Amino acid sequence: MKEKIILFALLALVLNLGCDNSSKESVKVVIDEKSEDGRMQWFKDAKFGMFIHWGVYSQAGGEWNGETNHAEWLQFTAKIPLKEYTNYAKSFNPVKFNAKEWVSIAKNAGMKYIVITSKHHDGFAMYNSQTSSHNIVEGSAFKRDPLKELAEECEKQGLKFCTYYSLGRDWEDPDCPTGYAGNIAWRSNLIDYPIEKNKVLQRYLDRKAIPQVKELLTNYGPIGIMWFDTYELVSKQQGQKIVDIIRELQPECIINSRVGPCLGDYKVNEQEIPEGAEIKPWESCMTMNKHWGYNKADDNWKTSEELVHHLIDIASKGGNFLLNVGPTGEGVFPEASMERLKVMGDWLKVNGEAVYGTTFSPFEKFTWGRCTRKNEDGNTVLYFSVFDWPTNGELFIPELKNKVLQSSLLANSETIQTKSSKGGLILKLPKTAPDTIASVVKVLVKGNIGIN
Ligand code: H79
């Protein structure tokens, strides 16, 4: 049985191919060797983080000239010339922004890290940047540095502070060409800088991106993750240079895979969850509705139940869930986001043990739920998160033949009887589920199952 389970786990891991560049090319992934050292440990244990997409664009709530489907791409999708966008930035004044509140909401939701947009594709720095005046302190009515306030608050409340940086796209800089698969000027600013061939990426990197990365790593205390996006035409060599700079300034800082082709400490999946388990660290980032930046017209909210299930599904495959919030132009979280975060936090307060510090399931995906695992002192704790409670009161775990040392429900500590049957284990459950979203049965078995 053990061999079969290990074989399955290995097979599932093989699915983790393809070097992420946010555009789905199938190149073999080469993860930085050092990712296996202590730098990654907190990340592997954390499982759940908050993504925050917030900028000048948030003011519009997705609406521009009667169109309501914009968000963080506003400048590009609404075809706003840079001068007009810069002027629009001046009215950005999120007076209700409260770093303590934001971090408390994330903490109560059970999130262990926050990744906030320090600069999105619009090139507008949401912090006090000395490199470019296109920033929130110099270029908006707000004149405060929200990243500084958030970094300090994260430190106080014990969350990791992490920054998103759009690397290969910058609609403010005249030297930022883009392209993909022969598609020249793919998402470049051609309104203000129409001559793509005159753009020299290295000039933009030296003048803006690298100095800004240095600022973030110098002025905001420890940065948990440098979360790069859309490296576009950045070469492996150029990406490596940025990696080297980060390693020098903050060796503990984790770098995601979008710093350049086949670079970084872990792989990112955007708006999707992989089919099977993956042994290397990875993360799925996802919106709660359809937009990253605030869009007041978007009511396509995932339910709290779906979001909890996503978190468990991701943990059962060895990944992290980076769940997005798009605060308003005033600096508050949408009500619908807060409701969902509250439910997730409440679920995690009871069942967090089944998520934090766990690793991927040794079993094939169940139809009724998911499994996570911790190997401890030669024994294995299995957490069976049951989404669909069995009507006959029995849950069959195929292949599980190890001796059961203990078995109980996390919701109420009620002991669960088990019995061996037909090459597996039967869990005898009460008639009704103790939790309507997902109920967790914790089963301690003798011996180690699966690989770490
Ligand atoms: O920051 C978020 C996105 O803005 C960024 N990555 C995440 C984390 C991103 N940049 N590019 N892409 C994602 C891929 C392309 C998205 C598009 Fe669209 C969807 C292009 C066209 C449809 C939405 C609508 C954005 C522009 C128009």
Domain ranges of the chain: 2-354, 369-445
* Percent of the chain scoring above 90 in pLDDT: 88
pLDDT for residue 22 is more than 60: no
What pLDDT does residue 182 have? 85
Confidence at residue 451, expressed as pLDDT on a 0 to 100 scale: 65
**Closest ligand 1 atom to the C-alpha of 120?**
1
Helices (H), 111-196: 136-139, 146-157
Residue 55 has pLDDT above 60, yes or no: yes
Task: Name beta bridge partners: 385.
Answer: 370, 440
436 alpha carbon to ligand 1 midpoint, in Å?
34
Model pLDDT, residue 404: 97
If you average pLDDT over residues 423-446, what whole number do you get? 97
- How confident is the model over 301-323, as pLDDT tens digits? 999 999 999 999 999 999 999 99
The yes-or-no verdict on residue 33 having pLDDT over 60 is no
72 in contact with ligand 1, CB cutoff 6 A: yes
Q: What is the pLDDT of residues 237-267, one digit of tens each?
A: 999 999 999 999 999 999 999 999 999 999 9
Tokens of 292: 């990253």
CA of 70 to the centre of ligand 1 (A): 11
122 in contact with ligand 1, CB cutoff 6 A: no
Q: Is 292 in the pocket of ligand 1 (CB under 6 A)?
A: yes
Band of pLDDT at residue 23, cut at 50, 70 and 90: very low
* Per-residue pLDDT reduced to its tens digit, 275-310: 999 999 999 999 999 999 999 999 999 999 999 999
The CB of 427 under 6 Å from ligand 1? The reply is no
State which of 23, 67, 70, 73 you would mutate to test the pocket of ligand 1, scoring each by most atoms of that ligand within 8 A of its C-beta.
73
Confirm whether 2-354 and 369-445 share one CATH topology: no
Q: Is the pLDDT of residue 391 over 60?
A: yes
| CATH code for the structural domain at 2-354 | 3.20.20.80
Instruction: Please give the pLDDT value at position 69.
Output: 98
> Is residue 335 predicted with pLDDT exceeding 80?
yes
Identify the three-state secondary structure at position 267. strand
| Ligand 1 centre distance from Cα of residue 100 (Å) | 29
Beta-carbon contacts of residue 313 (< 8 Å; ≥ 6 apart):
273, 370
Q: Please, what's the b/e burial string for 253-284 (b: 16 or more CB within 10 A of its CB; e: otherwise)?
A: bbbbbbbbbbbbbbbbbbeeebebbbbbbbbb
Inter-residue contact 105 to 338 (CB < 8 Å): yes
CATH number assigned to the domain with residue range 369-445, chosen from the 4 options 2.60.40.1170, 3.40.50.2030, 2.40.50.90, 2.60.40.1180: 2.60.40.1180
Determine if ligand 1 sits within 6 Å of the CB of residue 231.
no
Query: Residue 452: pLDDT band by 50, 70, 90 thresholds?
Result: low
Q: By the 8 A CB rule, do 318 and 406 touch?
A: no
Gap between the terminal Cα atoms of the chain: 17
Answer yes or no: is pLDDT of 24 > 90. Answer: no
At residue 188, the pLDDT reads 98
- pLDDT at position 121: 98
**Ligand 1 in reach of 232 Cβ (< 6 A):** no
At 7, the pLDDT band (50, 70, 90 cuts) reads very low
Res 29: pLDDT: 37
The rounded Å distance from CA 300 to ligand 1 centre is 17
Residue 73: CB within 6 Å of ligand 1?
Answer: yes
187-242: pLDDT as tens digits: 999 999 999 999 999 999 999 999 999 999 999 999 999 999 999 999 999 999 99
Integer-rounded Cα Rg, in Å, for the chain is 23
Distance of CA 73 to the CA centre of its chain: 19
- Of ligand 1's listed atoms, the one at least distance from the Cα of 270 is 8
Confidence (pTM): 0.94
- Average pLDDT of 19-25? 44
- The reported pLDDT for the residue numbered 3 is 47
Q: How confident is the model at residue 19 (pLDDT cuts 50, 70, 90)?
A: low
Does 270 sit in the ligand 1 pocket, CB within 6 Å? yes
pLDDT (0 to 100) of residue 207: 98
Separation of 394 CA from ligand 1 center, angstroms?
45
Q: How many CA atoms lie within 13 A of 214 on its CB side?
A: 13
* pLDDT digit string, tens, across residues 341-361: 999 999 999 999 999 999 999
